[in-house]
Structure formats: C-alpha cells, structure tokens
Structure 1
Amino acid sequence: MARDTPVQNQVATSESEPLPNLVTIIGRGVPSSFEITVDGEIEMDAHDPFAEGTVVSGSVAEGAIDVGVQRFRFAGQVTNVHVVDWNGVEAPDSASVPDVHVDYGVPER
C-alpha cells in the first residue's frame, strides 16, 4: 500500500519579507522569565537581543523582563507561552508575571 507524502505547514520567509505576526511581552516591575515557542521562525524586534538578555534560537525565544516591553516577530502559530515570576510561580497564580499579547497579521512599522 502506497502512502502519500505528508504535507506540513510551510512557512516561507526571506530577508526581504518581514515576519507577519507579533508577540509583545510587557513587564510589571517584578523580575520574571518567559519562553515563547512558535511553529515557524521567531526573531526579536530589537537592535541587540543580547542587551535585552534574551536568547532566540529557531522557533524559541526565552529571556527575562522586569520593566519595559520586548517584542518578537514570528511566522506560523504560537504553540506555547510560559511565564513565571521571580519565585517561579506561573501565570495565572501570580499577578506579577508579565502580560503577553499575541497579534496575527501585524504590518511591520
């Protein structure tokens, strides 16, 4: 019995084509950690991700935030968001974890 070749969601991006979606992390004044996983490509919307203390690799971004905003552009869908406060307490049990906003189809500024 012959099997059809599986078709996977393909995410086509290039240097000239911006990633279409946006994740925004907003700190609440308490040191917190976050991890974002997508099923496509993700990149930080900043000039120097290392200065932000953020690691972006393939489809995962992780880092820390206490105040301010960090933004990430991505292709595909968000598959996981994990945020914890400085004590390791996860959302929704901690009111101190950062806010996370996911927006699809956001034009690049």
Structure 2
Amino acid sequence: MARDDPVQQNSDAQSANQLPNLVTIVGRGVPSRFEIAVDGEIEMVADDPVSEGVVVSEKVAEGTIDVGVQRFRFAGEMANVHVVDWNGVPAPESASTPTVHVEYGAPTR
C-alpha cells in the first residue's frame, strides 16, 4: 500500500537546492561580532549552532567569532552584513573585523 505523504530526508544536496547561496565568516584572531540578514531563509552549516555561540532565526544570524570559519546557507539575497571588532569598531575602520565572503549558487562542499 502506498503512503499518502512520503517522508522526505533533508540531504546536503536537497539543502543546497533550497538554500543555494553561501556566506562564510572568517575570524582574524580577534574576538568580533557579526550579524547577517537575508531576504529569504538562512541556516548555519554546523551540527549545533548553539555550541558555536550563534543565534539563527528565519532571516538573521548573529554571533561571535575570533578564529576559524563559520558558514551559513541562505536563499534569496543578502540584505545586510554588520561586523565589529572587540571594541565595537565596525569594518572597514577596523582591520581586526572578520572577513565576509558571499557566494551565490554555491555547490555543497
């Protein structure tokens, strides 16, 4: 007997189709804060965003970073990116703020 409502598994490829774009935050070794806003949906590419110290809502992700990389997949267009260093000095006035890379139509890695 066929099921009326098939179960769908959310694979990486399926996620990339639904959230085709990628934003990458790269820390520069200084504690910094970031906020990313999109006009679609956004989700962190991590097993546990809470353990990473990142809060992700439907259209906004915000958190802290000092070293390493944090990635987010999103749909739609980038609406706003705000990064500040540990003193609250925003980019580009501070060379310590993290770098932000946005890639539209990014393949899954």
1:76 alignment counterpart: 76
For residues 15-48 of structure 1, give each alpha carbon's deviation from its aligned partner in whole angstroms, at most 9, with x where no partner exists.
4632100000000000000000000000000011
Distance in 2 of aligned mates of 1:42 and 1:108: 15
For residue 107 of structure 1, report the CA deviation from its aligned partner: 1.4
For residues 50-105 of structure 1, give each alpha carbon's deviation from its aligned partner in whole angstroms, at most 9, with x where no partner exists.
11100000000000000000000000000100000000000000000000000000
1:85 alignment counterpart: 85
- Please show how residues 21-32 of structure 1 align to structure 2 within 5 Å: 21-32=21-32
Q: State the secondary structure of the residue aligned to 1:73.
A: strand
Q: Provide runs of 4+ in structure 1 moved above 6 Å.
A: none
- Please show how residues 1-109 of structure 1 align to structure 2 within 5 Å: 15=10, 17-18=14-15, 19-109=19-109
Quote the sequence identity (%): 75
Distance in 2 of aligned mates of 1:92 and 1:105: 26
Task: Give the total of aligned pairs.
Answer: 96
Q: CA RMSD in A?
A: 1.3
Q: State the secondary structure of the residue aligned to 2:22.
A: strand
**16-25 vs 75-84, which deviates more?**
16-25
Distance in 1 of aligned mates of 2:106 and 2:25: 16
Unaligned stretches of 5+ in structure 2?
1-9
